[in-house]
Amino acid sequence: MIRTCTIDTPLGPMTAAALDGKLIGLWFVGQKHYPAAAQSWEPQPEYPVLADLRAWIEGYFAGKGGRPELPLEPQGTPFQKAVWKILLQVPPGETITYGEIAEQLAAQRRVLSMSAQAVGGAVGRNPISILIPCHRVIGADGALTGYAGGIEKKRALLQLEGAAEVES
């Protein structure tokens, strides 16, 4: 059974989902790729991983940062999971480009190149916003592009983390 709760944040409400004690999703309500099945999930805001997530999100938006110690189990293809694994290595306040992710994947797979566009598709399908930090991915020219929750939310998250790209 998928358990869920709504978390109020300064950027709007988010829906969290957990299965078997692991976080499987965190989306801004109404964002692109918001799960249609969310209406049928079981509301259980006190479910341990969801309660821990709410506490972490509160600290995150209070500027406490830090990496969450929550069990994550994002659902996706092997390629998507490889991209999301790279995202987990990007520290708060830093950014990475789609091309840099593609280069890392190519090196891991021992191939000459990978498509930055394919990486962009995987980044956009990230089901665990903020914790798997897809908001830290920028275009090759430094532009803030492609965030399922909206560019203004991406900008706000990067500013909260102190990323130099949005300080100006």
Query: Where do the domains of the chain lie, and which CATH numbers do they carry?
Result: 3-61 (3.30.160.70), 78-166 (1.10.10.10)
Backbone angles phi, psi at 31, to 5 degrees: -65, 165
Residue where the block lists tokens 């989306």: 27
**What is the structure's pLDDT at 103?**
97
With CA atoms as reference, report the closest residue to 85 among 34, 13, 96, 112.
96
The Cα 109–Cα 46 span in angstroms is: 41
Above 80 in pLDDT, residue 166?
no
Average pLDDT of 75-100? 96
pLDDT value at position 167?
46
Among the ranges given (5-9, 78-82, 142-146), the one the predictor scored with the smallest mean pLDDT: 142-146
Enter the tokens of residue 56: 């972490």
Local confidence band at 146 (pLDDT 50, 70, 90 cut-offs): confident
Q: What is the DSSP string of 143-154?
A: -----TT-HHHH
Question: What is the mean pLDDT of the segment spanning 50-73?
Answer: 93
Question: In the annotation, is 134 catalytic?
Answer: yes
Active-site residue, from 123, 134, 156, 163: 134
Start-to-end CA distance of the chain, whole Å, equals 45
pLDDT at 168: 39
Q: Count the Cβ atoms, other than its own, within 10 Å of residue 44.
A: 15
